[in-house]
Each structure stands twice: as C-alpha cells, then as structure tokens.
Amino acid sequence: MADLTTTVDGRTLKLTNLGKVLYPSGFTKGEVIDYYRAIAPVLLPHLDGRPVTRVRFPNGTSEKGFFEKNAPAGAPDWLRVLHTTGADGELDYPLIDGLPALIYMANLAALELHAHQWKVGARTRNVTVDQNLPVDQLVIDLDPGEGVTMPLIATAALLIAGELGAAGLTSVAKTSGGKGIQVYSPLTRTPAGRVLDWARALGERLVAEHPALFVTVIAKQARAGKILIDVNQNLPGRTTVAPYSLRARDEPTASTPLNWDEVEAAAEGAPLRFTGADALARVDSHGDLFSLMLGRRRGTLG
C-alpha cells in the first residue's frame, strides 16, 4: 500500500509511502505508524504539554536524518504550537497532544521524539526558556564511552538511584534505545537553573568519589572506558528522548522503561535491548513502567 487517507479522532490525515523501508531490517513507514498508533496510550501522557523536537529520517536510517524543532511547514491548523523565546532564538514547537498529532509526525518519518523536562498548560501559547522556567523532572543520562558494556552502565544506574533515594527522591529508569540508561525523578515545579546546579553538583561529587567509573567531560577521548554523567540534559533548552520513542538504528529499537529488578539483572549480564515490538509486549504484560513520572508524588531538591 502506497498512500492512504484516513480519519483519526476526527482529523483527516493523508498517509503516504507506507511501504517505504525506513530501517535496514526491513521495517517500513507503515509499520512505524502502526507502532506509534499502538503505543500511543502510554506514550501520549508523557508528551502531554511538552514541546517535542523530532529527528526525521525521510530516506530511512541508512541516510542522515535531521533535527526539527519548529512545527513542520504546511502543518495542519489544528496542530497546537507553542512559541518559545530563549538562547536558541524564537521557535514554534509543536505539541503532540493527541493521536492525530502523533500519527501526523510518524507519517513525516519523525522516528525519534525528544521532549523537554518542563511542560505547559492547555492554554499556554508563549514561554520564555531560561533558568527561571519551572521544570517537573530531573534526568541523569548515563552515556557510555568506548569499551563500556551494559553491566557497568546498569551498575552506575543503580548507584545513581541510590544517590537520588538518599536525597529523598524516587526514581525510574529507561533504556536510551541505544547503549545507555537514563534515570529520572519527578519533581515539584522547580526553576531549571536550580535543578541544573543540583544535578551538576551530584555529577561532580560522583566523579570525585568514583573517578574510574564516571566523567562529566563530554569529549570522547576523556570518556573511553568510563560513563558520562550527562547532567546538561537538564538545561531548559535541552531535550531527552521520550519513553517509548523509536530510535534510528539498524533495527527499530525503542527507549524502554525498566523496573529496578531488570537493572539489577543487567548489572549481572542480562541484556537490555528492546525493539518497538518488545516495548508493546512489555506494556501488555506490565503496563507503563514509567508511570511514576505521571503521579502526584513528586520530590523536592534539598
């Protein structure tokens, strides 16, 4: 099937080139759309109110994709847009606030969805992105350097969770969909600058205490054999791949929420790599393992 016109929750969408292969494994654009339609019940709550940067691969993951922050040219008038002003200038981010918007983006080969650590209300149309912007989640992105394997990354994630717990914060983990693990904590609304300072202090302390394990230096040569604690994901202008988002690899892997027993098992050598199909099966079996981030129990930074 090449093209299809369909109605999604009252919105008419034209879906094009559905048979086009977007992953070397043979996964097609139609299958990408089917995945996002199926995962929507657990994905959309995590995107609600959060501006989304997309990484689009119109020619498939074998070719270079591109980041897109602004709403696409020719976007339908029903697509909600948030105007932001900040260090990146003026931007008009789309908000993926329902199934029609999600399917619309999937049809544009927006394989990866990256969300901010802050969100806006239903009536908000303009935001200034600066250090005073309130954020409602903390993220510690563990990015492995060359030679680092999953057991060490999982061990680092457990250590981070322990540190967050000692600070009175609850936490949940997910795979990056690539080689890393990301640890999140839900927060009461806190200025972005304060969250960033707190995360940087944690990162610096962990590097001092575990210099053979962690670095906070982004340069690749400094990361060999170590794990980058990327606290800069807490900058108000930064985004992190959303839970359940596909990633642009050879296969359609997904950023997949985990339980801590799985992280402990991974520290002993169990694999942590999940495709979109795996993510869907896990939701059927376990529900949304990232639901902690949607709850009312939110921590405060001391």
| CA trace torsion 270, 276, 281, 287 (10° rounding) | 90
What is the model's pLDDT at position 50?
Answer: 98
Q: Max alpha carbon distance in the chain (Å)?
A: 58
The dihedral built from the CA positions of residue 117, 177, 285 and 35, taken in this order, carries a sign that is: positive
Which SS3 state, helix, strand or coil, does residue 186 take? Answer: strand
Q: How far is the C-alpha of 215 from the C-alpha of 209, rounded, in Å?
A: 11
pTM: 0.96
Tell me the residue type at 201. Answer: A
Q: How far is the C-alpha of 25 from the C-alpha of 158, rounded, in Å?
A: 33
Q: Smallest Cα–Cα separation from 174: which of 196, 141, 215?
A: 141
Residues 6+ apart with CB under 8 A from 124: 82
Please report where in the chains the tokens 């892997």 appear, as a residue. Answer: 253
What is the model's pLDDT at position 185?
Answer: 98
Decide if 216 contacts 229 (C-beta within 8 A).
Answer: yes
Q: What domains does the chain contain, in order, with CATH numbers?
A: 4-129 (3.90.920.10), 134-274+289-294 (3.30.70.3300)
Which SS3 state, helix, strand or coil, does residue 216 take? Answer: coil
Q: How far is the C-alpha of 227 from the C-alpha of 152, rounded, in Å?
A: 9
- Average pLDDT by consecutive 10-residue portion of the chain (302 residues)? 89 97 97 98 98 98 97 96 96 98 98 98 96 98 94 97 98 95 98 97 95 85 86 96 97 98 97 97 98 96 88
**DSSP designation for 63:** S
Q: How far is the C-alpha of 146 from the C-alpha of 151, rounded, in Å?
A: 14
What is the model's pLDDT at position 103?
Answer: 98
Q: How far is the C-alpha of 300 from the C-alpha of 113, rounded, in Å?
A: 27
What residues pair up with 5 in beta bridges, in sequence order?
A: 14
Q: How far is the C-alpha of 143 from the C-alpha of 48, rounded, in Å?
A: 26
**DSSP designation for 299:** B
